[in-house]
Amino acid sequence: MNRTAVAMLLIAAFAFSGCATKKFVRTETGAAEDRMNKQVGEVKGEVDSTQSRLSEQAAKHDRDVATVSRTAQEALDRAIAAGKLAEGKLLYETVLTDDMVKFGFDRANLSPEARSALDDFAGGIKSKDQGVYIEIQGHTDSTGPEEYNVELGLRRATAVLRYLNMQHGFALHRMSVISYGETKPVVDNDGPENRARNRRVVLVVLK
């Protein structure tokens, strides 16, 4: 075979090899793109799911805050009307949930958890040395007669007032109690978990 023929064969071999290599690269590239697109789709699905959950939680939180804030505004209005405040300001409110204070069914005694939560609350007030006025609100779930729930909420709020007075020296004339009973739920009373969320004591701090 002459040199010209050999050269032609080599050129043909390189050309064929080049085409095969390009085809292989295109195949591998396409497969990699498919895998990447699949992974991107999975990540996007997880992100969308997470955003959806966060949006639902935020909406629920906003509903809860809106309900609690209405009762805080009512507390402010009552205190202003009674001439209890120097500046007429709502400073903040602290919600003691049933999970935190664990009153127990149909009970108003302060649990160790409730006393600890109230100690923290009192410590915060004292550390700022503020001459504040505190309205203590009792809230219940809808189990039982409405009138009884008003009385139960009042007993729980009064237990908190007594503890703040006797253990932390908060002046009685700088505090008041009120019971909303079952009338201001933060969620529907349609299950044990939701009923537990509605059982709470709210401390509204005013100045």
Q: What is the CATH number of the domain that holds 133?
A: 3.30.1330.60
Domain count, the chain: 1
More confident residue, 190 or 102: 190
Assigned domain for 33 exists: no
In a domain, 29, yes or no: no
In this structure, the number of other CB atoms found within 10 A of the CB of residue 163 comes to: 17
37 belongs to a structural domain: no
Residue 34 located in a structural domain: no
| pLDDT-derived band at 90, boundaries 50, 70, 90 | very high
22 found inside a domain: no
Look at residue 43 and tell me if it is in a domain: no
Say if residue 162's pLDDT is above 70: yes
Residue 44 CB coordination number (10 Å):
10
Nearest to 72 by CA among 206, 207, 197: 206
In a domain, 40, yes or no: no
Closest to 133 in 3D by CA, of 96, 166, 184, 93:
93
Adjacent-strand bridge partners of 10: none
6 falls within a domain: no
Q: What is the largest CA-CA distance in the chain?
A: 118
Token representation of residue 37:
């697109």
State how far the alpha carbon of 141 is from the alpha carbons of 71, 158, 176, in Å.
Answer: 16, 18, 22
Q: Domain range holding 119?
A: 62-206
Stretch 5-23: mean pLDDT, rounded?
Answer: 52
The pTM assigned to this predicted structure is 0.66
Radius of gyration, CA atoms only, the chain: 34
Greater confidence (188 vs 27) lies with 188
